[in-house]
Amino acid sequence: MSAPIASWLPAPLSAEVAAALRRLADADDVARIAVMPDVHLAEDVCIGTVLATRSVLYPAAVGGDIGCGVATLQFDAEASVLDDPRLAARVLDAFTRRVPTLRHRDARMLPSGELSHPSLRAFARTTGAHELGTLGRGNHFLELQADDEGRLWAMVHTGSRAVGQAIRDHHLRDATARGAGLRGLDADSPRGHAYLADLAWALAYATANRRAILATASDVLAEDLGIVPVEASWIECHHNHVRREDHGEPLWVHRKGAISAALDEPGLIPGSMGTTSYHVAGRGVAAALASSSHGAGRRFSRSEARKRISARALAAQLDAVWFDHRHADALRDEAPAAYKNVEAVMRAQHELTRVVRRVRPRLSYKGT
Q: What is the pLDDT of residue 7?
A: 98
Q: Tell me, what's the pLDDT at 1?
A: 81
pLDDT tens digits for range 264-297: 999 999 999 999 999 999 999 999 999 999 999 9
| Rounded Cα–Cα distance for residues 168 and 259 (Å) | 19
Helix axes 190-225, 161-174, angle to 10 degrees: 170
CA–CA gap between residue 301 and residue 294 (Å, rounded): 17
* pTM assigned to the model: 0.97
Closest by Cα among 341, 189, 172, 207 to 272? 341
- Residue 101: the pLDDT is 95
Domains of the chain and CATH, by start: 5-365 (3.90.1860.10)
* pLDDT on residue 270: 97
Pairing between strand 5-7 and 30-40?
Answer: parallel
Answer yes or no: is pLDDT of 143 > 90: yes
pLDDT tens digits along 146-194: 999 999 999 999 999 999 999 999 999 999 999 889 999 999 999 999 9
Across all residues in the chain, what is the average pLDDT?
A: 97
Q: How many CA atoms lie within 13 A of 174 on its CB side?
A: 19
CA–CA gap between residue 152 and residue 252 (Å, rounded): 38
pLDDT for residue 368: 80
Of all residues in the chain, the percent with pLDDT exceeding 90 is 98
Q: What is the pLDDT of residues 220-238, one digit of tens each?
A: 999 999 999 999 999 999 9
Interval 326-358: pLDDT, tens: 999 999 999 999 999 999 999 999 999 999 999
Residue 367 has pLDDT above 90, yes or no: no
CB 282 within 8 A of CB 352: yes
pLDDT confidence band for 85 (50 / 70 / 90): very high
Q: CB within 8 A of 114, min separation 6: which ones? A: 121, 201
